[in-house]
Amino acid sequence: MVAHKTQRMKDFRHYNLLSHNTFGIVAHCRRFVEFDTEEQLEELCHSLTDADHPIMVLGGGSNLLLTKDFDGTVIHSAIKGIEKTQDTTEHVLVRVGSGEVWDDFVARCVDEGWYGAENLSLIPGEVGASAVQNIGAYGAEVKDIIYKVEAMEIASGKKVEIANAECHYSYRQSLFKTEWKGRYIITHVTYRLSKSFTPRLDYGNILAELQSEGVLSPTPQQLRDVIIKIRREKLPDPEVEGNAGSFFMNPVVSREKYDELAAQYPNMPHYDVDADSVKIPAGWMIDQCGWKGRTVGRAGVHSRQALVLVNRGGATGSEVVSLCNDICNDVKQRFGIEIHPEVNII
């Protein structure tokens, strides 16, 4: 796929970010710049001055909650392209522009017979953000298929290639979210995908949904279709009700803490991380606290998935944060566990 090139970058002042955040929050930035080539980005990096700071790199805005106007420059990648760069008997390497829509890439993978991304179907956002957030769902994390990340250092305009191990990926974390925040802009991500299909069906209700459809051994497309169906049934459409998908991270607790809670809640869902750690679904705890479906002002908790906070219409970011804090306090009081937002709050 050949990237479409424009002569000039988009460059706007006092720009409304409403169409760039799936929560549907009205907020403005001082400057908004969109590039679609590495050359444009390099030119931009060399032209930035102190007056352009602070800088926020924005993908699809599907993991973002804006609580106020951003008094700085928002930079967005529109780099496109999906290119196979290596093909062996077992694997392919595929280089993808950071501005590609993530789920379009997953669909392309399934069509081409490149496997490993199926469980990540329908996650909103763009390819660049996948490498920042270490997106995950249904027992899969993108870190398991990322081969390397190409980026540009904002301060110098220098291109860098960063291997998977250097990114220090963990659950919904990477150095791009911590030490490297504001240092790099991702231009491309290369994924290492398998030519043989090994379905992962043991997370959530994937297997039960497949069995209900009479499918015992799904094809990659059948697995993708089922995951899309489950997500659409559980998660609200941002076009209808503003949201950022899963708002909270699932906490990982010690085996001792799990045993203590399991004695009180024998039917508590959980996922073993390792011999010493257990992941407990935050949505289940939020539901146990009675929050599912509740509305406070113009913000609320989704009626089918307590992990998702929604904009009922006209909510401000601050209203959503207030609701988030109330939920966190209730979970801490009842279960003795701190839960934290997965969403980037600005």
Asked which of 77, 98, 133 is the last residue of a domain, the reply is: 77
- One-letter amino acid of 153: E
Number of domains the chain is built from = 3
Kindly report each contact of residues 261-266 with a partner whose C-beta sits within 8 Å and lies 24 or more positions away, as own/partner: 261/335
Residue 214's contacts (CB-CB under 8 Å, 6 or more residues apart) are none
With helix as H, strand as E and coil as C, how does the chain read?
A: CCCCCCCCCEEEEEEECHHHCCCCCCCEEEEEEEECCHHHHHHHHHHCCHHHCCEEEECCCCCEECCCCEEEEEEEECCCCEEEEEECCCEEEEEEECCCEHHHHHHHHHHHCCECCHHHCCCCCEHHHHHHHCCEECCEEHHHCEEEEEEEECCCCCEEEEEHHHHCCECCECHHHCCCCCCEEEEEEEEEEECCCCCCCCCCCHHHHHHHCCCCCCCHHHHHHHHHHHHHHHCCCCCCCEECCCCECCCEEEHHHHHHHHHHCCCCCCEECCCCEEECCHHHHHHHCCCCCCEECCEEECCCCCCCEEECCCCCHHHHHHHHHHHHHHHHHHHCCCCCECCEEC
Residue 276 lies in a domain: yes
Asked which of 77, 112, 128 is the last residue of a domain, the reply is: 77
Instruction: Tell me: do 70 and 112 sit in the same domain.
Output: no
Instruction: Tell me: do 91 and 69 sit in the same domain.
Output: no
Instruction: Tell me: do 292 and 306 sit in the same domain.
Output: yes
Residue 199 lies in a domain: no
Query: What is the per-residue pLDDT for 301?
Result: 98
Active-site residue, from 30, 95, 108, 172: 172
Residue 210 lies in a domain: no
Per-residue confidence of the chain (346 residues) as pLDDT tens digits? 333 344 589 999 999 999 999 999 999 999 999 999 999 999 999 999 999 999 999 999 999 999 999 999 999 999 999 999 999 999 999 999 999 999 999 999 999 999 999 999 999 999 999 999 999 999 899 999 999 999 999 999 999 999 999 999 998 899 999 999 999 999 999 999 999 999 999 887 899 999 999 998 999 999 999 999 999 988 898 989 999 989 999 999 999 999 999 999 999 999 999 999 999 999 999 999 999 999 999 999 999 999 999 999 999 999 999 999 999 999 999 999 999 999 999 9
Q: Which residues pair with 192 in a beta bridge?
A: 93
User: Residue 52 belongs to a domain with what CATH number?
Assistant: 3.30.43.10
Q: Both tokens of residue 188?
A: 């491309």
Residue 232 lies in a domain: no
Q: Which domain holds residue 303?
A: 242-345
Instruction: Tell me: do 250 and 190 sit in the same domain.
Output: no
Q: Output the CA torsion 308→313→319→323 (10° steps).
A: -30
Sign of the torsion angle spanned by Cα atoms 125, 129, 130, 135: negative
Q: Both tokens of residue 194?
A: 């398998």
User: Pairing state of beta strands 64-65 and 344-345?
Assistant: parallel
Instruction: Tell me: do 181 and 93 sit in the same domain.
Output: yes
Residue 342 annotated among the catalytic residues of the structure? yes
Active-site residue, from 31, 174, 246, 319: 246
Residue 296 lies in a domain: yes
Residue 172 annotated among the catalytic residues of the structure? yes
User: Residue 302 belongs to a domain with what CATH number?
Assistant: 3.90.78.10
Instruction: Tell me: do 255 and 166 sit in the same domain.
Output: no
Asked which of 28, 53, 77 is the last residue of a domain, the reply is: 77
User: Does 218 sit behind a cis peptide bond, omega within 30 degrees of 0 on the bond before it?
Assistant: no
State the Cα–Cα distance between residues 186 and 133, nearest whole angstrom.
12
Instruction: Tell me: do 288 and 320 sit in the same domain.
Output: yes
Residue 164 lies in a domain: yes
Instruction: Tell me: do 276 and 325 sit in the same domain.
Output: yes
Instruction: Tell me: do 336 and 263 sit in the same domain.
Output: yes
Instruction: Tell me: do 97 and 65 sit in the same domain.
Output: no
Instruction: Tell me: do 88 and 185 sit in the same domain.
Output: yes
Instruction: Tell me: do 122 and 38 sit in the same domain.
Output: no
Active-site residue, from 126, 150, 319, 342: 342
Residue 230 lies in a domain: no
Residue 3 lies in a domain: no
Residue 246 annotated among the catalytic residues of the structure? yes
Contact between residue 63 and residue 244 where contact means Cβ atoms under 8 Å apart: yes
Contact between residue 97 and residue 112 where contact means Cβ atoms under 8 Å apart: no
State the Cα–Cα distance between residues 327 and 182, nearest whole angstrom.
30
User: Residue 188 belongs to a domain with what CATH number?
Assistant: 3.30.465.10
State the Cα–Cα distance between residues 245 and 102, nearest whole angstrom.
14
